[in-house]
């Protein structure tokens, strides 16, 4: 089942409202996925790179800035958001900071100059409220409500999945060749942390982009190399993309105005967006890639 939402803003004046609009969309999809939920928010890059960390016990973040700063030999700042901490480190030091944090039992949700990922078990409403999603600003974002069918209900099993800097993916569906693809990607150095097939798809897209392809080309590749049924919505530092498998058995709807592009598993998640009555609304075609980039 599961529910997907995504919002890509073309009008910068709407950036302070991104979180509020996404929160409404995410909560509307609650009955498609009551087990866990997550969102990725993209903002304008600032000084330094960001590492989003998670711990079931937020006390683990005590003294984090000082300890990581001493290990890196550089300034580190920490912003705690419920069970997550957004750590800002000097440019280029995110991989080192992530490895340091993992060695100390902290979970890495994602890294990048623009992306922050927040995900937890629980209802979408509870997750959105826990992280203060309605108060977040940004340029674009994607979210997911999960009904677990093939793996455990855990924080790491929740979407979005990120396998490269400023890249993440949410998925509705199931892949049949993900274990073979996981082994293939591991040989290329792309690590996955869970048994979830969505993480494999995220790593696949990351590997294509790392090889020099555009977001659109990477999404095209999923149609040839990933077997199963799927709707993918992906985010990058500058882009937002959607693709459905050739059968397209999972529901999907898109809307576009001069201000934004929106995606949802069902139209009811879009009805409160500004200007939706005048939007171009359509069902994305099977085996067709849609993407927008800044």
Q: Are strands 77-81 and 161-164 parallel, antiparallel or unpaired?
A: unpaired
Give how far Cα 235 sits from Cα of 42, 114, 125, 181, 279, Å: 8, 11, 22, 21, 22
Does 2 participate in catalysis according to the annotation?
A: yes
At residue 269's C-alpha, the angle toward residues 123 and 150, to 5°, is 45
Rg (CA), the chain: 18
Options 1, 2, 213, 245, the catalytic residue = 2
Going by C-alpha positions, the residue among 253, 285, 286 that lies closest to residue 271 is: 253
Largest CA distance in the chain: 54
Kindly write down the DSSP assignment for every residue of 136-172, as one continuous string. ---SEEEEEEE--SSS---TTTSSPEEEETTEEEEEE
Starting at the edge strand that comes first in sequence, how are the strands of the sheet with 167-175 ordered? 161-164, 167-175, 228-235, 239-244, 289-293
Q: How far apart (Å, rounded) are the C-alpha atoms in residues 219 and 147? A: 24
Terminal-residue alpha carbon distance, the chain: 31
- Taking the C-alpha atoms of residue 91 and residue 76, their distance in angstroms, rounded to an integer, is 11
Query: Which positions are catalytic?
Result: 2
């Amino acid at each position: 089942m599961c529910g997907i939402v995504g919002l890509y803003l073309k009008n910068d004046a709407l950036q302070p409202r991104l979180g509020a609009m996404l929160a409404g969309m995410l909560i509307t999809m609650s009955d498609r996925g009551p087990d866990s939920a997550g969102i990725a928010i993209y903002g304008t890059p600032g000084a330094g790179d960001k590492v989003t960390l998670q711990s079931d016990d937020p006390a683990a973040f005590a003294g984090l800035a000082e300890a990581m700063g001493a290990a890196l030999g550089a300034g580190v700042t920490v912003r705690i958001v419920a069970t997550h901490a957004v750590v800002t480190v000097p440019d280029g030091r995110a991989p080192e900071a992530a490895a340091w944090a993992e060695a100390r039992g902290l979970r890495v949700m994602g890294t990048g100059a623009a992306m922050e990922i927040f995900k937890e078990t629980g209802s979408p409403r509870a997750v959105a409220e826990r992280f203060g999603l309605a108060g977040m600003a940004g340029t674009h974002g994607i979210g997911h409500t999960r009904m677990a069918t093939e793996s455990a209900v855990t924080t790491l099993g929740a979407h979005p999945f990120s396998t490269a800097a400023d890249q993440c993916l949410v998925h509705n569906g199931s892949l049949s060749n993900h274990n073979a693809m996981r082994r293939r990607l591991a040989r290329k150095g792309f690590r996955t942390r869970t048994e979830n097939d969505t993480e494999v798809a995220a790593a696949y897209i990351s590997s294509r982009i790392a090889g020099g392809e555009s977001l659109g080309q990477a999404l095209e590749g999923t149609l040839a190399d990933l077997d199963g049924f799927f709707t993918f919505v992906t985010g990058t530092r500058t882009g937002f993309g959607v693709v459905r498998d050739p059968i397209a058995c999972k529901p999907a709807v898109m809307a576009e105005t001069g201000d934004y592009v929106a995606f949802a598993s069902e139209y009811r998640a879009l009805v409160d967006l500004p200007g939706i009555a005048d939007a171009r609304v359509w069902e994305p075609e099977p085996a067709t890639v849609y993407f927008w980039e800044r």
